[in-house]
Structures are given as C-alpha cells and as structure tokens.
Amino acid sequence: MQNSSAFQLFPKIEPYQQGMLSVDSIHTIYWEQSGNPDGTPVVFLHGGPGAGSTPAHRRFFDPSYYRIVVFDQRGSGRSTPLGEIRNNTTPLLVDDLELLRQHLGIEKWVVFGGSWGSTLALAYGETHPERCLGMILRGIFLCRKQEIDWFLYGLKNFFPEAWQNFVATLSETERSDILSAYYQRLINPDPAVHMPAARSWSIYEGSCSTLLPSLETVNYFAQDTVALGLARMEAHYFSHDIFLPENALLDNVYKLHEIPATIVQGRYDAVCPIISANDLHEKWPQAEYRIIDNAGHSVWEPGILSALIETTERFKQILSSPRS
C-alpha cells in the first residue's frame, strides 16, 4: 500500500499528430499522438463514459519512451456529435479502439484507463488480449447494478449535501427512480432542459470525487462540454447495463491473466468503492494491486497520481524484459 507523492506529472507537451477518424455514418472521433513516434505505444482511456480527454492526460507518460495515444470516445470531448447516444455502446467503443489501433499502424499497446476507462479497458482487453502489452487501471468500475445504485443513492451517506442538490429538481416520485428521471431530461433535445440536468449530474459526481473538497474539480465537471458528454453518456450506459451481459467483465477476466497489469485504487473512493477493485483482484490475482490509503476517486489525488506515474515508469522495465 503506497502513499508516496514523489512521482510528478511529466512536463507539458504538444501532439506531433492529431486527427478525426470517422467510425460510422454518425460518429467521428478525435485522436492525437504525442511523445516518441518510435516509442512503446500506450493508449489513454478517459472516464465517464463521456468525460473526454484533456492535455494533462499526456503527462502520465515519459514522452521520450512512450508513443502516447489519447482520444475522445464517441459522444465525448472533441468527438462529434457531442452527446450523441445513437450507435453508442460498449462493443462499438471496443471496435473504435481496434479501428484506431489499425489506423495508426500499431501492433500492440499498453492500455491505461481509470474509472469508466478501466471498464472499457477490461472490455477491450477481454475481446483483444493479443493486442495488449500491459494494462494500468485505476478506480475500478465494473458497472454492476450494485455500483450504479450506489452512485445514485448510496453516495448520500457520505455526501448528503451533494446528493440533495442532485435530486433537488426531482419530485418525490421521481426520486424512487433517479436514473429514469434524469435520462428523460438528458435526452430531451431542448438545451433548456438537458443542460441544467447535465450540469447537476456532473457537478454531483465531481463533488464526490475527491477525498477533500476541491473547487477546481467541481468547476471542471461543471463545464458544458464535460457535463453534457458525461451526464448523457453515463445515464445512457447505466440505463442499458453497459450493453454487456451481466457480470461479463469479471467472468472473462481470465483472458487477461498473462498480461502484465497494475490496479491502483483509492481506499476512500466514494464514486467507485474499493469493493469492485477487490472483486477484480480476486479474479485476477496475477495483477499487482495497490491501495492508496489517503485518496478518493480522482486521478489527480496526489497518491494516485504518483502511483500511476511510478507504474508507467516501472512498465519500461517490465516491457523490455524477456517474458517466459
């Protein structure tokens, strides 16, 4: 169990290549590459679903060693159309990853993802284990009914003020099915209806994401692009059980047993409670499991950030060592 904050973000860098990749008749996804064009490929999977990526996400990786691929998933960030739920399912996101890998001429890559990014990483790895050099996962979310119910109702046990604000516009009847009430607002085409709902949902998540209050985190979640992508995609995926069979991610984790992996989890992660990381590690004992005792959910918690960068550094040796 690590609490060190000795490892810091790498310096700011700019992409050496970026573009838009059409993945079907509706969706076009934003992608970029930075770091070493001849380096070990690593793909960053953002959270949400729907949260999008930021320039800071390049900075978890040594740019002299890694070929850093960052992209925005369907309906998120700079991908278009923003907030689009048509043709937006987990299997299609997995297909997009493969299409992007092929488009960039990458044979195998390290898959790095946190929160929903860990969900998508598991789904991708279990579908295409032969394409994964390694996996670095944070804030495990398996999108089971118990986890969704916890997010919608259980969080009020630790963040009652945030939860009261979250449900403030809902009637007493609607509060018995928060997900449906929000989903109907979020898919309403009128911005006067969907944007207030999106901001409320996203601010609720941001308010619960850090161990200590962080206005910077809440303000980030309150941005229109982040809020709309995050809230609408989360409600969409939660309403459809992430478009995968029940318990599929745990049932198929055996396919990842031969892949080098590290799981980093905040002890006091309220958004994605530690029980999910524990359940995953029980099914995947080969993976290194690091519990950060002084951290919540956010990737920017000092202990989590440090552990992730330490892991990307250590993977240099793991990936260059001969494997039996």
User: Would you kindly state where each structural domain of the chain is located, as residue ranges?
Assistant: 17-143+244-320, 146-242
* Averaged pLDDT, 169-176: 97
* Averaged pLDDT, 10-15: 98
Q: Which two tokens stand for residue 126?
A: 């279990």
pTM over 0.85: yes
- Helices 90-103 + 116-127 axis angle, to 10: 70
Which among 269, 276, 281, 306 is annotated as catalytic?
269
Q: Domain spanning 17-143+244-320: which CATH class is it, in words?
A: alpha beta
User: Is 269 labeled as catalytic in the residue annotation?
Assistant: yes
pLDDT of the residue at 182: 98
User: Is 57 labeled as catalytic in the residue annotation?
Assistant: no
Which among 79, 115, 209, 306 is annotated as catalytic?
115
Q: Which two tokens stand for residue 102?
A: 């092929």
SS3 for 122-179, per residue? HHHHHHCHHHEEEEEEECCCCCCHHHHHHHHCHHHHCCHHHHHHHHCCCCCCHHHHHH
Residues facing 265 on adjacent strands? 291
Measured at the CA of 55, the angle between CA 52 and CA 57, to 5 degrees, comes to 75
> How does the average pLDDT of the chain come out, rounded?
96
**CB burial of residue 282 (10 Å; 0-12, 13-18, 19+):** exposed
Which among 57, 236, 281, 297 is annotated as catalytic?
297
User: Is 297 labeled as catalytic in the residue annotation?
Assistant: yes
